[in-house]
Structure 1
């Protein structure tokens, strides 16, 4: 059975182009199109598509407002199309916060090496998010209620969550790699960390170059820790998270107590810019067994080899569990290779970090 797709855009040319690409895939079928957000909301309710592709700037109702209404009435996996500009980045992050699962640049050839790769990329993204309907309410960035222990209730109908225990290891660095679904996942984790977090944090998120500055600024405005887009020569400081710039590679140099960030050209032969493997591998060489690392939701296997290097050096590697991932690719690669010591639900990763650091 084909996956039903609703294509939403005010440009007839773009609607036709996206529809042709989607219909060319054996398992995908465009069941209808909409020219604005209001039509999208109505057709989402009537047609119950498996996936919606959504433009941001449209007449009558914009894409972000449409995402909010659809998520409230007919939760559906939504793939946003956005411009590769600073304003486009901010709007895309708003759409992800509203409940969209993923995004592509409107000129999606910009993140592909040729036309065929761009076509495959769009088809693959649509198919990947189609199966994640059950995640939608949990991946929206609504305030999370604190866990209440069963002993504090007069009655209980649910089992208490597993209590974490610290391993007793000491750390000097936290490193997190992610891709599809990562912006929401990182926000959920980082907003729960205290301002006096005891060591630096490296963030590697697959994201276009024009998006990372806006994403770092958003996280910094929401978090108690400091979050910044990493710059060449930054000296790592406790309580600061450094987001790898899009289109570049982030490495470390120096010694563990005075390490500096090096930002290097992305490289034509590298599939990912930034690449989790590159940063993780660099961290393993300098920090040896003192890295607390995790691989979160994302397509592909980036992070597996870097995580292997970290584990070989004696560092800790965790993976996000399948149920809470938007795309269970990167964490699955780490888990299947036997590299991760724990597979954790997104909602409890921050809690697990604080227990491990004995700050819970």
Structure 2
């Protein structure tokens, strides 16, 4: 098996060395080039044809966003952005994910804890996973997504010709709540789902996207600007309303609770020690307890298995589950865990997920 070839791009020699030290411990990964600015990054993408690139955002001569757009237009490949946890860094990272970057790592968190095995393992695993999925990068959008036309957003969804068999009897139609869980590849994939749902959609939508603070707010702002639905970052104590999307706040768990005949958002630090904060499992389990039968669960691209336990409980309470198919996933981890556990009712390509959501909630 050939090694995964990586180019590291950063204007800081220390950062280049830090990233190299983190990933070079894996014998299956080879650093084939290091660049100091966007011009060099574009040139190396063309000449070296690496499998994966790490790319800083703020650099002299040509910044990372400009370089990324050129790379994705000329020589598409999986690009991991290196960003700060500031609001400005979050906004820039969301743009990078729109332009085709597959993921990001944070200078603040990752390198303040330099040498922590968990961070090193996660980065190396992602690099190898993205390298295996290199071909899909050419099919991802590299420009800002456009609002769908009204006919496309409102076309009548069709029933699946061959729904997946399940052991649990679920009420498949007339759902009153949708919960979506996603991680790596989620921001750009959500832009192919949420903006295509019509303004008169009758249900609230809850989204859990693995992201740190500031990033989820930037994601909500961007999705809101593209969508007919209202999209907000949940702050707690909001009453769930139809046609509104609530994104779990980075660094906190989102839990739903009953309030009379309605549901309220709740922000919590419990359980502590979760691998992901926010966690799909935590949110979906809370939903299963208060609105299981009335809920449609959707699991999309992401690494790991977060969401499997929660969606299993949701199915036991009478909910339905849609999983994104392998071909359209940036990382086929979270959907795979759900599918292999026999939890999914349907396995759906990314481009048709919005249609299936509308179908189940009509």
What is the aligned partner in structure 2 of residue 273 from structure 1? 277
Answer whether contact 1:203 1:244 (CA < 8 A) is retained.
Answer: yes
The CA deviation at 1:168 is 5.4
Determine if the alignment matches structure 1 residue 329 to structure 2 residue 333: yes
TM-score calculated relative to the size of structure 1: 0.91
The more displaced of 261-270 and 200-209 is 261-270
Question: Residue by residue, what CA displacement relative to the aligned partner does 1:6-47 show, whole Å, maximum 9, x if unpaired?
Answer: 000110111111112222111100001111111111111001
The CA deviation at 1:125 is 1.8
Answer whether contact 2:158 2:359 (CA < 8 A) is retained.
Answer: no
The CA deviation at 1:351 is 1.6
Q: Residue 211 of structure 2: SS of its match in structure 1?
A: coil
Question: Residue by residue, what CA displacement relative to the aligned partner does 1:223-253 show, whole Å, maximum 9, x if unpaired?
Answer: 1000001011111111111000011011111
What is the aligned partner in structure 2 of residue 54 from structure 1? 55
Question: Residue by residue, what CA displacement relative to the aligned partner does 1:243-282 show, whole Å, maximum 9, x if unpaired?
Answer: 0001101111115831111101154321110010111111
Determine if the alignment matches structure 1 residue 263 to structure 2 residue 270: no
Question: Residue by residue, what CA displacement relative to the aligned partner does 1:317-360 show, whole Å, maximum 9, x if unpaired?
Answer: 010011111111100000000000111110111122223334xx
The more displaced of 193-202 and 101-110 is 101-110
Q: Could you say if the C-alpha distance between residues 83 and 344 of structure 1 is closer, same or farther in structure 2, counting changes exceeding 3 Å?
A: same
Determine if the alignment matches structure 1 residue 203 to structure 2 residue 204: no
The more displaced of 252-261 and 291-300 is 252-261
* Cα distance in structure 2, aligned partners of 1:42 and 1:263: 46
Q: Residue 250 of structure 2: SS of its match in structure 1?
A: coil
* Cα distance in structure 1, aligned partners of 2:258 and 2:295: 15
What is the aligned partner in structure 2 of residue 156 from structure 1? none
Answer whether contact 2:288 2:314 (CA < 8 A) is retained.
Answer: yes
Q: Residue 236 of structure 2: SS of its match in structure 1?
A: coil
The CA deviation at 1:143 is 4.7
* Cα distance in structure 2, aligned partners of 1:217 and 1:145: 18
What is the aligned partner in structure 1 of residue 178 from structure 2? 174
Answer whether contact 1:266 1:273 (CA < 8 A) is retained.
Answer: no
* Cα distance in structure 1, aligned partners of 2:29 and 2:346: 35
Q: Could you say if the C-alpha distance between residues 256 and 311 of structure 1 is closer, same or farther in structure 2, counting changes exceeding 3 Å?
A: farther
Q: Residue 263 of structure 1: SS of its match in structure 2?
A: strand
What is the aligned partner in structure 1 of residue 293 from structure 2? 289
Q: Could you say if the C-alpha distance between residues 61 and 272 of structure 1 is closer, same or farther in structure 2, counting changes exceeding 3 Å?
A: same
Moved over 3 A (4+): 110-114, 141-146, 161-168
* Cα distance in structure 1, aligned partners of 2:184 and 2:56: 18
Q: Residue 237 of structure 1: SS of its match in structure 2?
A: coil
What is the aligned partner in structure 2 of residue 339 from structure 1? 343
The CA deviation at 1:298 is 0.5
What is the aligned partner in structure 2 of residue 96 from structure 1? 97
TM-score calculated relative to the size of structure 2: 0.90
* Cα distance in structure 1, aligned partners of 2:28 and 2:67: 26
* Cα distance in structure 2, aligned partners of 1:216 and 1:132: 27
Answer whether contact 1:36 1:60 (CA < 8 A) is retained.
Answer: yes
The more displaced of 265-274 and 239-248 is 265-274
Answer whether contact 1:172 1:256 (CA < 8 A) is retained.
Answer: no
The unaligned stretches of length 5 or more in structure 2 are 152-156, 164-170
The more displaced of 337-346 and 102-111 is 102-111
Answer whether contact 1:324 1:345 (CA < 8 A) is retained.
Answer: yes
What is the aligned partner in structure 1 of residue 220 from structure 2? 216
What is the aligned partner in structure 2 of residue 354 from structure 1? 358
What's the RMSD between the two structures over aligned residues?
Answer: 2.3
